[in-house]
Amino acid sequence: MFKFLKSLFASEKVLEIEKVDLEKLESWFEEKVSNIGFNEQAKSYLKKIEEIKTQIPSLVENLKNAEVSKDNKNVEERIKNIVKGHKDNYAREIERFWEDLEILSKEHFKNLQEYKEVITFNKNVDKKIGELAKRTAKGYQAAQHLFFDPVEKLFKKMGELNTLIKEFEKKIKNFGIEEELSLIYELIHQLNQDISKKESFTLQIKEKEKEKNDSNKNLEEKEKELQTLKESKEYSQYKEIENQIGEVDKKVKYNENNIFSYFSKLNKPLRKYERVALDNQIIQAYINDGIKSFWQDPELKIKEALQGLKKALTENTIQFEDKQKNNFLELIGKSETNYLDELMALGNKLKEERKELIKQTEAYEIVVKIDESNKKINSEKERINSLEQELSTLKSKLEKINLEKIEKEINEKASKIFGIKLTISSS
């Protein structure tokens, strides 16, 4: 592989060491590429195409002007016209091919990009010749019957172009331009990109670490400020009121449990009585939600309904076992005392107490300050979490960059194609 290049260095048994600074690696590579001898090969190839092109017009003209020889005078006129048509079409196709072909014009080919220009040109010509061959195959074969000599001369000249293209393809392969040289170029480009990325990631990590440290300090300060607020006399007084509210809430709950318990025990007889009572709206309300209905009944109209229930139980309008009936009558008897009134009074009193305590808490600005402090702390924590995620992503990207691996690949490829031992150094 790469016979031509290897022959350039065949006499070297010990590879010469070349030390190249990293920032000069690309220019070093371009200089090496410019000296592999491809320039001469490319210029020679294009010159030969120009020579063929100068010979084509006369050959095309000879074919156009060719007449059927006397040896073929017995051929039918219809056949002559058909063959002549194929001959003229073949001549036009070849003429158009060369008219459309713009030969690459360049004094020197000195770098990989310019090498690829002539390689691309060669591929395009090869493709066009293949398309031309398909279009003219039938015409070429038909024209041979009556115009063999001029057709064959033109065909052979086109064959010279085809041979020239194929030979140049082999030279391209021997130079390794599309394989090894292109790969070295890409590796150098990747190396430079990865170096820039590494520097960028390293700098970003440093900046993010500083931001994180600053945020941690800010968080520590804010947490101290919050602790100071919580240890203040004002906050202690506020918490005392909160505790009082908690105690009131316990009493409220206990009171409402008593209300719930009372009416839930009378739920069954109230359901039966609701069917026979003349005014059953308030009964229905208490059956559905005893506590809610109790607080919506400040005049305790339920007492009248309970008296109706008592009468119904006594007169057996609604029937229960004696034991159950006696329990229900005993509960109704409690309503005839101040039991329900006391529950109502206590509930109202507790509500007023709670309202007053809540009003007292509203006077304490310490609560607003603590809320604001907590918001700042949460905001700082979110920022720290965000920075930690960014740092994790950056460090992961940085770990994936392997400059040593790329440098090793460049060294191996350079040794193979240039016959030297390359050492890349950082300045």
Angle of CA points 253, 257, 259, to nearest 5°: 120
pLDDT value, residue 153: 94
The stretches of 176-232 forming alpha helices (DSSP H) are 182-230
| Rounded distance between C-alpha atoms, residue 135 and residue 140, angstroms | 10
Q: Does residue 247 lie within any of the structural domains?
A: no
| Rounded distance between C-alpha atoms, residue 350 and residue 252, angstroms | 6
277 contacts: CB under 8 Å, gap ≥ 6: 283, 305, 308
Pairwise pLDDT comparison (2 vs 173), residue with the higher score: 173
Confidence band (pLDDT; 50, 70, 90) for 232?
A: very high
| Rounded distance between C-alpha atoms, residue 403 and residue 405, angstroms | 5
pTM: 0.61
pLDDT value, residue 10: 47
pLDDT digits (tens, 9 = 90+) for 181-231: 888 889 989 999 999 999 999 999 999 999 999 999 999 999 999 999 999
Tokens (6 digits) for 221: 């300060």
155-160 contacts, C-beta under 8 A, 24 or more apart: 157/52, 157/55, 157/56, 157/59, 158/94, 158/129, 158/132, 160/52
Q: Does residue 290 lie within any of the structural domains?
A: no
Q: Does residue 82 lie within any of the structural domains?
A: yes
Residue with tokens 């670490």: 209
**Among the listed residues 197, 199, 125, the one whose alpha carbon sits nearest the alpha carbon of residue 164:** 125
pLDDT value, residue 80: 84
Q: Does residue 53 lie within any of the structural domains?
A: yes
Residue 87 belongs to what domain range? 37-175
| Rounded distance between C-alpha atoms, residue 43 and residue 199, angstroms | 43
Q: Does residue 103 lie within any of the structural domains?
A: yes
When divided into structural domains, the chain yields a total of 1
Q: Does the structure show a pLDDT above 80 at 138?
A: yes
pLDDT digits (tens, 9 = 90+) for 38-94: 889 999 999 999 999 999 999 999 989 988 877 777 778 888 889 889 989 999 999
Contact 92, 132 (CB under 8 A): no
What is the arithmetic mean of pLDDT over 164-188?
87
Q: Does the structure show a pLDDT above 90 at 291?
A: yes
**Among the listed residues 125, 203, 210, the one whose alpha carbon sits nearest the alpha carbon of residue 169:** 125
What's the Cα-to-Cα distance from 67 to each of 74, 89, 141, rounded to whole Å?
Answer: 14, 15, 17
Confidence band (pLDDT; 50, 70, 90) for 427?
A: low
Q: What does DSSP say about strands 420-425 and 16-21: parallel, antiparallel, or unpaired?
A: parallel
280 contacts: CB under 8 Å, gap ≥ 6: 274
124 contacts: CB under 8 Å, gap ≥ 6: none
Contact 88, 66 (CB under 8 A): no
What is the DSSP secondary structure assignment for residue 177, as one 8-state letter?
I
Tokens (6 digits) for 393: 């992503």
What's the Cα-to-Cα distance from 20 to each of 8, 25, 193, 397, 402, rounded to whole Å?
Answer: 21, 6, 18, 27, 19
pLDDT digits (tens, 9 = 90+) for 322-337: 999 999 999 999 999 9
Q: Does residue 149 lie within any of the structural domains?
A: yes
Q: Does residue 314 lie within any of the structural domains?
A: no
| Rounded distance between C-alpha atoms, residue 197 and residue 217, angstroms | 30
Contact 229, 369 (CB under 8 A): yes
**397 exposed, middle or buried (CB, 10 Å; 0-12, 13-18, 19+)?**
middle
pLDDT digits (tens, 9 = 90+) for 356-414: 999 999 888 999 999 999 999 999 999 999 999 999 999 999 999 999 999 999 888 88
Q: Does residue 317 lie within any of the structural domains?
A: no
What's the Cα-to-Cα distance from 177 to each of 13, 43, 181, 185, 416, rounded to whole Å?
Answer: 24, 16, 5, 10, 13
Contact 87, 151 (CB under 8 A): yes
pLDDT digits (tens, 9 = 90+) for 12-40: 457 788 888 888 888 888 888 888 888 89
| Rounded distance between C-alpha atoms, residue 203 and residue 209, angstroms | 10
